[in-house]
Structure 1
């Protein structure tokens, strides 16, 4: 019997073997995760955890309010020498940021097929701005739902990715996020999970940043007062 037949045989045996009914299995999984250490945390406590975990993996994180973040972010972009920023001004957050940017920071819209301006995008755009769908505190993860105005390219191609996340959208863990957002019933066609800047290591375990995406990640957490997890 060759390797292929062995693997198929094991799969068929597992399929035929009696197993736990799915409702019971799901109930046990839910009960296990319900005991998670962050399940009763407030949105502020979840934001604290997200900040701590993401900072530990070379991410710069700022806690901001709903009104002051555009001016602070504009100041940070100028100080970092960002000359062009990819963002969607059709969103309220994108429009607010564009209004706060000084003349030396040029805004770029993703308003044409990638093939028409791929060279410009890879060579001339310094940073991309996204508004995060939600966040996962336990793992320090941002959940992005790309759309026409902010496709995956915005968070993957520019060397700096700037993300805005609301504390009220944070979840304790991945299991909580999947249930709260009903991923099994209405999961978007494409979700991007970001847990820090792009990094990789070679066979000698030398860590390098930016090999497969942004080499820097900035996260601005809006502490929307009174919000719950």
Structure 2
């Protein structure tokens, strides 16, 4: 018998003769104080995110690629890491072709060992989708995939995230229920409320210590 099996067996034996405690969990405790009328979700989300140094923009499905290009030009950024196989990656690639953009598009299409130096030293910005957002805490929900690995949103100094307005939920409990996380938790769901920051050194607040220095969220009002 393996060590794991031995541990589980001991835990099971320790419960012999005991009576389970009734589950008196009150769902209202984690939902009612953190529920909002539909028209208040996005304003609350923006207020909380902007309070921690996140830049937000309201835009539309057909307009966001031009907005992304403009934001990059304003920051003098000449390249962007995207996931070409995603719907938003394909849409942005087509926009750049039509607009004859000089922006260099990069793809995370190799094992990290083959381009680690380029990713860390010469990739100033990335564009990813999101799973949704939480109004009560002002947080994005990121769910990394093989097409958009975690390093896409973690390494580049600027992270641009696309958020569908229809996927802004009231609270985390609502997200867990609607997406059935009890039946299958994601392996790496992330809640992100702003750019990376720390005040560990001499209590001086610094951005970009453990992740992107800037976070820009584009909220698609018609999606």
Q: TM-score, normalised by structure 1?
A: 0.84
Give me the whole-angstrom Cα distance separating, in 2, the residues matched to 1:201 and 1:19.
Answer: 45
Q: Is the 8 A contact 1:152 1:192 kept in 2?
A: no
In structure 2, which of residues 156, 170, 173 is the aligned counterpart of residue 172 of structure 1?
170
Give me the whole-angstrom Cα distance separating, in 2, the residues matched to 1:99 and 1:157.
Answer: 25
Superposition map of 1:101-116 within 5 A: 101=96, 102-116=100-114
Deviation of 1:203 (Å): 5.1
Give me the whole-angstrom Cα distance separating, in 2, the residues matched to 1:152 and 1:59.
Answer: 19
Q: Is the 8 A contact 2:31 2:173 kept in 1?
A: no
In the other structure, the counterpart of 1:35 is: 32
| Local SS of the residue matching 1:61 | strand
Give me the whole-angstrom Cα distance separating, in 2, the residues matched to 1:185 and 1:40.
Answer: 27
Give me the whole-angstrom Cα distance separating, in 1, the residues matched to 2:120 and 2:166.
Answer: 34
Q: Does 1:204 align with 2:199?
A: no
Deviation digits for residues 109-153 of structure 1 (CA, Å, limit 9, x no counterpart) = 111100010001111111011100110111111111111110000
Q: Is the 8 A contact 2:125 2:158 kept in 1?
A: yes
RMSD in angstroms over aligned alpha carbons? 1.9
Give me the whole-angstrom Cα distance separating, in 2, the residues matched to 1:17 and 1:211.
Answer: 49
| Local SS of the residue matching 2:33 | coil
In the other structure, the counterpart of 1:120 is: 118
| Local SS of the residue matching 2:183 | helix
Deviation digits for residues 49-94 of structure 1 (CA, Å, limit 9, x no counterpart) = 1111101110110001111111111111111111111111111111
Unaligned runs of 5+ in 1: 1-14
Deviation digits for residues 146-175 of structure 1 (CA, Å, limit 9, x no counterpart) = 111100000000000000000111111112
In the other structure, the counterpart of 2:64 is: 69
Deviation of 1:187 (Å): 1.7
In the other structure, the counterpart of 2:12 is: none
In the other structure, the counterpart of 1:156 is: 154
Q: TM-score, normalised by structure 2?
A: 0.86
Q: Does 1:100 align with 2:95?
A: yes
Deviation of 1:219 (Å): 0.3
Give me the whole-angstrom Cα distance separating, in 1, the residues matched to 2:45 and 2:164.
Answer: 11
Superposition map of 1:209-224 within 5 A: 209-224=207-222
Give me the whole-angstrom Cα distance separating, in 1, the residues matched to 2:18 and 2:204.
Answer: 45
In the other structure, the counterpart of 1:9 is: none
Give me the whole-angstrom Cα distance separating, in 1, the residues matched to 2:137 and 2:101.
Answer: 37
| Local SS of the residue matching 2:182 | helix
Deviation of 1:17 (Å): 9.1
Give aligned pairs, total. 205
In the other structure, the counterpart of 1:50 is: 45
